[in-house]
Structure 1
Amino acid sequence: MKKTITLLGLLVSVTLMTACAPEIGSDAWCAGMENKPKGDWTGNEAADYAKHCVFK
């Protein structure tokens, strides 16, 4: 029973943390990408940044 409650608590915590990510193209997301090293960007992130932050 204790393991079930712990697992449920962990699942809820992870769900809440991932729900807080800024929406792609928002001002917060663009600012976060500007602070992230360019070498760490994925191809999709670079394309989304160009589309939503550079060519608004």
Structure 2
Amino acid sequence: MDVDDNQERKFLDNKNKNHSSSRTRSVNTIHDEIQDTLHGLLRKQKELDHDLRVTNDW
């Protein structure tokens, strides 16, 4: 293996690491967005349940 082969291998290794960490960040971002959405839906459901109880009590 000559110097050029080593440099190319290092370049590809770094490229794969960057892609992997980028993908991990993307997955984490998507996970956070899903979690935020679920929390928002849960809050809305509790609000609607409360409104329904108030309406039924009236």
Normalising by the smaller structure, the TM-score range is 0.3 to 0.5
In terms of fraction of residues, the more helix-rich structure is 2
TM-score, structure 2 normalization: 0.43
TM-score, structure 1 normalization: 0.44
